[in-house]
A and B are shown apart, each in its own frame.
Chain A
Amino acid sequence: MDKIEIVEGPIARLPAANVDTDIIYPARFLLITTRDGLGKLAFHDKQDAPDYAPMFAALAGGAPILVAGPNFGCGSSREQAVWALKEAGFKVVIAPSFGEIFQSNCAKNGVLAIRMDAAEGLSTPYGLENGQPLSVDLRAQTLTGPDGAVAPFVVSPALREALLNGWDDIARIKALHRADIEAFEARRRVAEPWLFPGDRP
């Protein structure tokens, strides 16, 4: 997984609520079986929508930070939504709330999803105009606006560490917890043997 620590650049604003993963990545493109080349499909069906124009303009200007509305990424579990946003250039998404599966998909792909109430970050980031610069420091857990205003944010320590180090779940679980999983299975075989039909005589 790509590491992430400091992200600086203009923000793209998308204040609408409930932007679902069908909007971020329309279902018909799910027939594609790779994870590369999806960036150009991000928000595909909104390319001519007036309320998405500022966001597209900021993205074209290299904005790495998306400042979104509440319940961003709700709906379908499609990870393509995150792959597309990431390839389009977004490394950080800030919103008052997220669809839960979307948020965990971000974590698996080196995209930092920051939950922040509009009130908490009144001047930074929600007071910023589309295209204004913002600096995100994951190690310090701070956002710094163009006027020097700083807003703290919080992500879970485990997520922070994983993103800072670019850790990969499979390798780490195997390295640290193989014995735990095997021990769990041994207990479970006794407690709920019907879940191990392969063991049946």
Chain B
Amino acid sequence: MNQASTPGSSVNGPATLYDKLWASHVVAHGEDGQTLLYIDRHLLHEVSTPQSFETLRRTGSPIWRPETHLAVADHAVPTRARGGAIADPQARAQVALLATNCAEFGLEHLALDGDRQGIVHVISPEQGFTLPGLTLVCGDSHTATHGAFGALAFGIGASECGVVMAVQSLWQTKAKTLRVTFKGALPRHVTAKDMALALIARIGSAGGVGYAIEYAGEAVRDLSMEGRMTLCNMTIEAGARVGLVAPDEKTFAYLQGRPRAPTGAAWDAAVAHWRTLPTDPEAVFDREIEIDAATIAPQVSYGVSPDQTLPVDGKVPSPDDLPAGPARDQLASALAYMGLKPGAKLTDIAIDTVFIGSCTNGRLEDLRAAAAIAATGKVAEGVTALVVPGSTAVKRQAEAEGLDKVFLGAGFQWRHAGCSLCVAMNDDRLPAGARCASTSNRNFEGRQGAGARTHLVSPAMAAAAALAGRLVDVRSL
């Protein structure tokens, strides 16, 4: 409880980045440790907000500050073509509803056919809508992505989206703090995706419940902003809603000149403020984890929960090695769903589909890494490989660099921006039994289509799997 502090004040004494972000957004304190937290920014997509707008209508609530919201369609949109009507009537209606809702309530909406469309978590940083020091929410669990900029960003439900639109604030309970320090440097071909998966495999998919995670250490500082976004993005897969990286010169360089970033004297003032945000040296975390980055290998998930992940040179574990109980049953049921035999080498698993994209790994750097591998061969026979840029801007930049030609030449499909096979809500959907090497974030049952099987990997690993027709260690190429 934090009753003593003045609402909106800074913290006294050494504080973590999370503490500072929290303290600077306190509107009021509740009776039992709850805090009414001010929300600076809200992202909307077509799936999580129809019912939120309905609530506003039902309660006769106007929008408190319309300029703090930004909407874009991403989940249900087709990726084969842009322009013209969406074939699926439900998807067409849902995408159209977002546009009419935004028009009715006066919110900025990025058109599907426009230059700025893309997955919410990709376009918001691109637009400079995401900034250090602010609170940002979205009806989407991967909102933690924006923590890469030192913003307090977390996913909420549709009801809470309605609350934010109506009163610009939310009742929240402060989390405990967990610092994950990645010491040392990553080996070649090991990426932010592998850091995220290795952490989740270690602490479990509920390991971060109740915590806000700050990622620190040399390997994190060395990551590009894209890599930091990938790392923060998968925080929810460890059970935590908030993942943070302290803002630094890389953060500022990324943001300067973006359409919604401050300019001139306002920029200078903002940067001066953002420099005060990083965790103070004396600050204490509730929990600390240290991982030696040099020991991380490329990771592959073998099960139906993101923590069912191993280094690529591993073997499918056996339920028989576990004592009787829920853990054994869970592993057996995961292997049954995945159609895998205990003891099989991960690199012997044949795949028929490859998906490169999503808010986890659909940015330019990801496409470059995948293209570098794609350039060395051809997609194996019988494999369908999709490259779906995270945003239209990423697509354009990739095309300017000729990456589309590389992918197409190697037999990959080159699509328009959207969530696509990460969630299979559009017409990109896998049949039962299909097996996909995917750069997305969730290997849940049915996530890429009812009965479809997902192996989570990095972009280079996905591209390598496409060429080999099976999971393969990218370091061996």
A149 at the interface (CB under 8 A from B): no
Within the complex, what minimum Cβ distance (angstroms) separates A85 from chain B?
A: 13
The B-contacting residues of A in range 59-85, CB under 8 angstroms, are 69-71, 74-79, 82
Bound: A30/B158 CA distance, A: 12
Are the CB atoms of B205 and A18 closer together than 8 Å?
yes
Q: Which residues of B contact A174 (CB under 8 A)?
A: 61, 166-167
Are the CB atoms of A181 and B169 closer together than 8 Å?
yes
Q: Which of B51-59, B179-187, B294-302, B381-389 contacts A (4 or more CB under 8 A)?
A: B51-59
Are the CB atoms of A74 and B206 closer together than 8 Å?
yes
B87 at the interface (CB under 8 A from A): no
Bound: A82/B160 CA distance, A: 13
Contacts between the two chains (Cβ within 8 Å), count: 199
Are the CB atoms of B38 and A188 closer together than 8 Å?
yes
A193 at the interface (CB under 8 A from B): yes
Q: Which of A2-10, A104-112, A129-137 contacts B (4 or more CB under 8 A)?
A: A104-112
Partner of A184, one of B38, B90, B160: B38
The B-contacting residues of A in range 13-38, CB under 8 angstroms, are 15-18, 20, 22-23, 26-28, 30-35
Q: Which residues of A contact B450 (CB under 8 A)?
A: 26, 45
Are the CB atoms of A170 and B59 closer together than 8 Å?
yes
* A170-B141 contact, Cβ under 8 Å, with A16-B333, A27-B425: no
Are the CB atoms of B48 and A77 closer together than 8 Å?
yes
Are the CB atoms of B162 and A97 closer together than 8 Å?
no
Q: Which residues of A contact B50 (CB under 8 A)?
A: 33-34
Q: Which residues of A contact B7 (CB under 8 A)?
A: 180, 183-184
Are the CB atoms of A170 and B262 closer together than 8 Å?
no
* A28-B48 contact, Cβ under 8 Å, with A104-B157, A108-B157: no
A140 at the interface (CB under 8 A from B): no
Are the CB atoms of B166 and A17 closer together than 8 Å?
no
Q: Which residues of A contact B67 (CB under 8 A)?
A: 197-198
Bound: A156/B171 CA distance, A: 13
Are the CB atoms of A177 and B169 closer together than 8 Å?
yes
Q: Nearest chain-A residue to B50 (Cβ)?
A: A33
Are the CB atoms of B158 and A79 closer together than 8 Å?
yes
Q: Which residues of A contact B123 (CB under 8 A)?
A: none
* A195-B333 contact, Cβ under 8 Å, with A27-B447, A101-B156: no
Are the CB atoms of B446 and A170 closer together than 8 Å?
no
Partner of B28, one of A23, A31, A75, A180: A180
Q: Which residues of A contact B32 (CB under 8 A)?
A: 156-158
A171 at the interface (CB under 8 A from B): yes
A117 at the interface (CB under 8 A from B): no
The A-contacting residues of B in range 256-272, CB under 8 angstroms, are 260, 262, 266-267, 269-270
Are the CB atoms of A15 and B326 closer together than 8 Å?
yes
Bound: A32/B88 CA distance, A: 12
Q: Which of B15-23, B132-140, B284-292 contacts A (4 or more CB under 8 A)?
A: B132-140
Within the complex, what minimum Cβ distance (angstroms) separates A153 from chain B?
A: 16
B196 at the interface (CB under 8 A from A): no
Q: Which residues of A contact B133 (CB under 8 A)?
A: 192
Partner of B27, one of A30, A184, A193: A184
Are the CB atoms of A32 and B90 closer together than 8 Å?
yes
Bound: A198/B155 CA distance, A: 26
Q: Which residues of B contact A109 (CB under 8 A)?
A: 159
Bound: A78/B50 CA distance, A: 12
B195 at the interface (CB under 8 A from A): no
Are the CB atoms of A181 and B38 closer together than 8 Å?
yes
B423 at the interface (CB under 8 A from A): yes
A120 at the interface (CB under 8 A from B): no
Partner of B139, one of A77, A82, A177: A77
Q: Which residues of A contact B28 (CB under 8 A)?
A: 177, 180
Q: Which residues of B contact A18 (CB under 8 A)?
A: 205-206, 305, 330
Partner of A194, one of B34, B54, B262, B446: B262
Q: Can you show 28 pairs from A to B with CB atoms below 8 A apart?
A: A16-B330, A20-B442, A22-B447, A27-B425, A34-B50, A45-B450, A70-B206, A76-B141, A77-B48, A78-B48, A100-B241, A101-B155, A105-B157, A105-B160, A108-B159, A156-B32, A157-B31, A169-B167, A170-B59, A170-B162, A173-B171, A177-B28, A180-B28, A185-B38, A187-B8, A188-B38, A193-B266, A197-B67
Q: Give the interface of B toward A (CB within 8 A).
A: 7-8, 24, 27-28, 30-34, 36, 38, 40, 47-48, 50-51, 54-55, 59, 61, 64, 67, 75-76, 88, 90-91, 93-94, 97, 131, 133-134, 139-141, 155-160, 162-163, 166-169, 171, 173, 205-206, 209-210, 236, 239-241, 260, 262, 266-267, 269-270, 273, 305, 326-327, 329-330, 333, 423-425, 429, 442, 444-447, 450
Q: Give the interface of A toward B (CB within 8 A).
A: 15-18, 20, 22-23, 26-28, 30-35, 45, 51, 69-71, 74-79, 82, 97-101, 104-105, 108-109, 156-158, 168-171, 173-174, 177-178, 180-181, 183-185, 187-188, 191-195, 197-198, 200
Q: Which 7 A-B pairs have the closest CB atoms?
A: A194-B262, A33-B50, A108-B159, A105-B157, A79-B157, A31-B90, A71-B206
